[in-house]
Structure 1
């Protein structure tokens, strides 16, 4: 009897592991699914700026936002991640990547060697970008200078360092639904929604997260603790921005200046450097979309300790 119980337990465990392995298989985009296409470098540059690529991947503490050698430390409750080199360097960057490998990385969160990327890379939002925009982005990145140099590995403790487990995270929090335009809204609003929810990945910072690191959808865009561990990311729904006009928001995205004369701080400074490079029409579209967000109450901010 004991032998049968032991054998049954082994079989159940093996079956469970098999299901886990199947469900967490990293997804890829087949090269055959990408038809021939002439890259649009101007669109690729717009995708680069909308996606905020240089915000994370530019070499820290130097002025050139196009030196994409990586190295920025990104603290989180799960460890510290370091932005990789995405320059055209063939050894340390993405110079040897195929187009399909790049599209797979951005839209599926899967590396060229078939492993899950950690979701510090905001592919859960990039997933909503169009394939053509991502292909143009890849073509544009290849025009930028190569940056050499080996980077340190992520500092992520067990069990968060087991990449296969990220497949479970993707099942729970990665929305795989296609983007559908809202026919009741103008084209400018739909453009803004596409940029804010896809390449712009605004919700990745401006939303609270649960214990597993997934966005709390009921409070999407309602602000919360800074993912990097210090400070508070503001609510950008009409709960906080009710007094801002769409023009105010667009001006902020261009200059970092708020209607009351304050300026953007923290990581938003890097974001503004990218968004300000977009066309005025795209910034206005994002502003139109953000202005349309209904008021949502965010998580309560912790009370500051009284000074002694």
Structure 2
């Protein structure tokens, strides 16, 4: 019996050690930013493509560059609220370092070493280019500061155990691309990383991770009303020109107007270059059909 108890205790210690290793935060190597200088003008383009204001401005606010946060995102795991990411030193991220910003955006780790919930699309931003990250940081620091405190998430047990998010990351977070570039690296980068299109257009598994076997195959609307349409060619018969025009104007080939959260996405894409919109359209048209 004594030998058995020792083995049980040893197994528990080993299991706990493995669990701590698996769920530990994975941080960036700060040295990779050495020698990089941020350019706020270029950072504005990254900010727009990444849709930062779409989630972090106060709903209904006229000035969408005041990143007070507060927008709610309802899920099966609870309700998440976008935080204040303005340059305010206490309520926002004004006292962060570049390394802390990089950890948050590309690793989903806050300055205290805690995991962010993947309602924040760092699983897409993990592929963000180092220079783009530095440029984005430079631009965000030029924006107005807001002293409004971030609203805490409404997440119950066991999902409120942030350490467990590390296990989720271990299983599902990857910086690998889903599609081959086939000469369209810019389109793939915009869709799979900066614009994080799959966050809405790809269905999820029971624990909230993207089902990459149904990439861009459409998904339930997070708001609980309707569905997000599929973008694969067997479901969307638009031409590349139709897709690019929609991203610029918000009008479909049948002259329906964009609505819902997609209106924010179109507003962002309308400020990008025609080359970027065409690159995204080319990516969409290159998606493989999924069938029924």
Q: What TM bracket, shorter-length normalisation?
A: over 0.9
Moved over 6 A (4+): 178-181
Provide the residue aligned with 1:277 in structure 2: 271
What 5-or-longer segments of structure 2 have no aligned partner? none
Is contact 2:244–2:281 with CA below 8 Å preserved after alignment? yes
* Matched residue SS, 1:238: coil
Q: C-alpha distance in 2, partners of 1:179/1:136?
A: 25
Distance 1:10 1:230, change over 3 A: farther
Q: C-alpha distance in 1, partners of 2:262/2:178?
A: 26
Q: CA deviation at 1:11?
A: 2.0
Provide the residue aligned with 1:304 in structure 2: none
Instruction: Tell whether 2:210 aligns with 1:211.
Output: no
**Residue correspondences, number:** 292
Q: C-alpha distance in 2, partners of 1:232/1:181?
A: 27
Instruction: Tell whether 2:245 aligns with 1:251.
Output: yes
Q: CA deviation at 1:110?
A: 0.8
Q: CA deviation at 1:122?
A: 0.5
Distance 1:268 1:178, change over 3 A: closer
Q: C-alpha distance in 2, partners of 1:264/1:291?
A: 20
Distance 1:115 1:124, change over 3 A: same
Q: C-alpha distance in 1, partners of 2:160/2:21?
A: 19
Provide the residue aligned with 1:293 in structure 2: 287
Q: C-alpha distance in 1, partners of 2:83/2:110?
A: 12
Q: CA deviation at 1:181?
A: 7.3
TM-score, normalisation: structure 1: 0.91
Q: C-alpha distance in 2, partners of 1:32/1:45?
A: 24
TM-score, normalisation: structure 2: 0.95
Provide the residue aligned with 2:223 in structure 1: 228
Q: CA deviation at 1:237?
A: 1.1
Provide the residue aligned with 2:195 in structure 1: 200
What 5-or-longer segments of structure 1 have no aligned partner? 299-308
Provide the residue aligned with 1:305 in structure 2: none
Provide the residue aligned with 2:86 in structure 1: 87
Q: C-alpha distance in 2, partners of 1:20/1:47?
A: 36
Provide the residue aligned with 2:28 in structure 1: 29
Is contact 1:52–1:275 with CA below 8 Å preserved after alignment? no
Q: How does 1:87-236 map to 2 (within 5 A)?
A: 87-177=86-176, 182=181, 185-186=182-183, 189-236=184-231
Q: CA deviation at 1:168?
A: 1.1
Deviations 1:19-65 (A, max 9, x none): 01011110112333321222122221111011010111011111211
Q: C-alpha distance in 2, partners of 1:94/1:84?
A: 10
Is contact 1:222–1:297 with CA below 8 Å preserved after alignment? no
